[in-house]
Amino acid sequence: MKPAIDTKKIVVLSGAGISAESGIPTFRDSGGLWHQHDLREVATPEGWARNPQLVLDFYNERRAVAAAAEPNAAHLALAALEQRFDVVILTQNIDDLHERAGSTNVIHLHGELAWARGTSAKRLRRRIDAAPIMLGDLCEDGSQLRPDIVWFGEPVERMDAACAEILTASKFLVVGTSLTVFPVASLVKKARWHAEKVLCALDVERRPAGYTLLRGAAGKIVPGLVQRWLADAPR
């Protein structure tokens, strides 16, 4: 028996596109990160084993770019939704722009730049904010620190939590993602048939069944959608 949906609950799934207008590069757009770097070298356990310095340099650079960025109108609008709704942000992004915009319930499915973790089985985490990680920076258990990021081939631990949140959402917004990386991309199918489902994207090869497509930049589209949702919010 599926749980009832909650008319006050909104879940958002965001990707790199929501941070593009804040100056943080996406991955697969022209000029994106995976056009500039070989993801096998900088975002896989094998790449880390081959050349940890290259991996640390890649994420130290991205951490500096993210720290210098500011939340944009899309992040701020989603934070404003919390005035009238219970909002859960499921993000593939490793920047903290949702939190800095004021969102209070953010689940980072692919990890966070602001955290590092040890490389032993204990996986002890440490908050580093915008600080770089250097070779020789050790965790309490003596293991080398690494970015607390989910690399390709590593498990996405919070998928069950993400699915559970979507199951009771009365509205589900998918914004700024190419929906090409699994398992997270499979979340579009988890929303209930009678929930309101919206996809905000620049270019869409295929619109998932049951979704309303709002084509355009997140910073332009999301504030208008949020305004409408707030105006129609249940009393």
Binding of residue 176 to ligand APR (CB under 6 A)? yes
- Residues 85-114, mask of contacts with ligand APR (x by CB under 6 A): -------x-----------------x----
Name which of 221, 228, 220, 218 is nearest 196 in CA terms.
228
Among 10, 20, 116, 139, binds ligand APR (CB under 6 A): 20
Q: How far apart are CA 211 and CA 136, in angstroms?
A: 48
Beta-carbon contacts of 80 under 8 Å, excluding residues fewer than 6 positions away, are 102, 226, 230
Residue nearest to ligand APR (CB): 17
Q: How far apart are CA 188 and CA 211, in angstroms?
A: 9
| Cβ 32 vs Cβ 25: under 8 Å | yes
Determine the interface stretch with ligand APR among 47-55, 76-84, 158-166, 195-203 (rule: CB under 6 A): 195-203
Angle between the 73-80 and 218-231 helix axes, to the nearest 10 degrees? 20
98 classed as catalytic? no
Binding of residue 22 to ligand APR (CB under 6 A)? no
Does 221 carry a binding-site annotation?
Answer: no
Residues that bind ligand APR (CB under 6 A): 15-17, 20-21, 26-29, 32, 92, 110, 176-178, 180-181, 201-203, 217-218
Return binding residues for substrate: 59, 62
